[in-house]
Structures are given as C-alpha cells and as structure tokens.
Amino acid sequence: MSEAQKTHILTILKGMDAPDGKGDVVSRAMVSDIFIADGKAFFSLSVPAAEAERFEPFCRSVEAAVAGIAGISNALVALTAERPAGSAPPRPEPARRPGEAIRQGEAPATGPAPPRKPSPKPGIPGIARIVAVASGKGGVGKSTTAVNLALGFAAVGMKVGILDADIYGPSIPRLLNLKGKPRTSGGRTMIPLEAYGLKAMSMGFLVDEETPMIWRGPMVMSALTQMLREVEWGELDILVVDMPPGTGDAQLTMAQNVPLAGAVIVSTPQDLALIDARKGLAMFQKVEVPVLGIVENMSYFIAPDTGHRYDIFGHGGAREEAARLGVPFLGEVPIEMAIRESSDSGQPVVASDSDGPHATIYKDIAARALAQLELGATASQAPEIVFE
C-alpha cells in the first residue's frame, strides 16, 4: 500500500509548479526518500538557501494535498536549504592600510563594524523555561532520570511538560504508560497526552513502537520542531526535553535553535561514560546553554539481604568531574530494582512511591536544578557594567 501511496505523492508533486517558476520538484530531483508510517507521510525538499522562505507556503500546500490521499491522515514536509555546490560565503574585505587610496565607487571606511549580537532564539508561547536532559552516550538511564526529574518539578507545584526528543528510540510512552495517538486542534496543532500531571509529547505516540526511524538530519529536526512548536502545551513553568544521546547534528541543532534555560547531564561513574558526558557538557557550553549540573546514575548498589554497598561501576567519578569542570553536582542515583521495575511498568518511582527514599533522591536533584535555574535567572537580570 505504501508504494502506491508514494507513487501517488510523486504524481501530486509532478503536477504542482514550484514557486520559483522552474518546473516541478520531482523532475528536478528535489524530493527526498518518502517515509510513510501509521498514516503519516514524511519527506523533505532540497532547495537553495536563498529560496527557503519562498518555498515555505509551497510546503504547506503540498502537506494539504498529500493529506488528501487515501490512508494518509497527515503529512510533514521539511525544507532542506543547501548552499549551491562550489559556493562559499563572501570573504570580508582586507583591512586598508592608513593613507591607502579608496578605489572608485567604494565608500570610505569608517572603522570596523561593531560585532553583531546573535538574534534571540524564538520562545514557545506559554512555556516559561525549557530544560534539556542529555547524556554523551545511550544506556545511562537518561530517560528515566528525565521523567523523574520532571515529576520532581511537579511535586513542588510547578506545571510541567516533557518532550521526548529521542526520535530514534523514544522511551517516554513506556515510562509513563501512555498509549494512543494525540488528538489535533484545528487540524494541525497536536494536543499532548497526560500522565501523573505531566503533559507529554513523543514520536512514540505517532509511530508504532517497532517501526524503525531511518531519517536524515533535516527530517529529524522538522519532526522535533513540529512536536515542540505545534503542540498545545498551554501554560507551563518548565518543559523538560529528553534529548537524544550523543552530540550529533540533532542535539546541536536543538541546542542552537531552542531557548534552553539550562541542561542536566546524566552519566554513570565509569571513565568511558564520563568521557562522553564531557563531550555533551562541552557542546552546551559552546552554544552558551547553562549547565545546571551533572547527575551520577547507577552510582552504587545496596544488597537487599546484607545492606552492604557495592560500587559496581566505580564511584564518585561524576562528582569529581563536576568539580574539575566547575559545574554543580546534582546527586547520585543508586542501582535499585524498585526504580527499574517502576520504570518498566510505566509507574515512575517519584509518582508511585512519592514518599520513598528513591523518590526523595530525585526530588532533591530537582530542587538543586531549580536552584541553579533561579541563580541563572538572577544573573541574567543583573545590571551590565560597561567600562568605556
């Protein structure tokens, strides 16, 4: 069925004149591979960077046309703006030596231009702060930490949402025991699902759990943008973003384009995990996102029969790394069957045993992260002293 639908999509595209007046996008090889899953069609159009704004309304028209195909309820068309082959950004004029003649037709120099401040990242209406939870590698318990951290924020009376930004391996639906597809408002804006007082959005709600996601970077970013900006989040004090593991294109682009109030780095104690955590921390520092602190997950194990403590993966590595890098250490989370079992059953420990010792650990981590957010807000509001 999907092959027939793909053929139908290409037929539609062949019949639509591109806004630049140079013919259809199919014959010009501007269409990426088309991916169809659970009634949604995803593909991108590769256009010159200078034409991106002109093609934006065309993409919306394509989405509307494709959504009319039998068996397809929605479409997401991304623009991939690429610089033409062989082109390069213009080089600045070399500085002129004092007394050097001005060439004909050239305006006289008036000194170096002041440095341009980067344009502010557009915020999300209704969302006061966005906090990323990240790790340098997978398998360190990042998603479990993100969910319990979000519940820790909610436990102090905050309105909280969670966005599952891990397109390739979404975990939030299982961790929150959420199933089904989100409803839409006005045919385009999605309404998030809710559990334990959290509003949640994930690609896992839109695509079957066993469907492999084989997308390139532009498709991933378009999906993330839609889940972030085309969702009725309402009024939220904090949106927690469960970031993909690693420091690839999706993570960097997310950090560069979303107004993140701060990032929490999750690691395990051993050296190999800390090496990767270091990379994640460095990425956020490069794009000027405040690092709220490091969490050491799987920090230790308490034997239930003897009460003896075992440092299976070593101990204290994340704390030492935080001290070395000059960032806060937010806390240690033990290897504990109750945390694993509650996560697997979709009943995170902060919700299912809110007064228990493990919930207390996560709540303390949330309190420390909130304290860092408040410090950051105070610092950003402080007067700037300029010496002339």
Compute how many other C-beta atoms are within 10 angstroms of the C-beta atom of residue 206: 22
Question: How far apart (Å, rounded) are the C-alpha atoms in residues 67 and 176?
Answer: 30
Question: How far apart (Å, rounded) are the C-alpha atoms in residues 241 and 238?
Answer: 10
Confidence of residue 86 (pLDDT cuts 50, 70, 90): very low
Kindly report the pTM of this predicted structure.
Answer: 0.69
How do beta strands 236-242 and 184-185 pair?
Answer: unpaired
> What per-residue confidence (pLDDT) applies to 357?
92
> What per-residue confidence (pLDDT) applies to 137?
67
Domain residues of the chain, as ranges? 2-82, 127-381
Tens of pLDDT, residues 254-295: 777 788 999 999 888 765 556 666 777 777 877 788 999 999
Confidence of residue 155 (pLDDT cuts 50, 70, 90): very high
Residue 288 tokens, joined: 């000027």
Q: Which fold has domain 127-381?
A: Rossmann fold (3.40.50)
Q: What is the mean pLDDT of the chain?
A: 78
Q: Using an 8 Å Cβ cutoff, are 284 and 134 in contact?
A: yes
Tens of pLDDT, residues 37-65: 667 787 778 777 677 778 878 888 888 89
> What per-residue confidence (pLDDT) applies to 289?
87
Q: Show the beta-strand stretches assigned E in 113-174.
A: 127-134, 160-164
Q: DSSP string of 360-385?
A: HHHHHHHHHHHHHHHHHHHHHHSPPP
Does the 2-82 domain belong in CATH 3.30.300.130? yes
Question: How far apart (Å, rounded) are the C-alpha atoms in residues 160 and 230?
Answer: 17
Instruction: Please state, in angstroms and as integers, the Cα–Cα distance from residue 234 to each residue in 128, 152, 194, 267, 268, following that order.
Output: 11, 20, 12, 32, 35
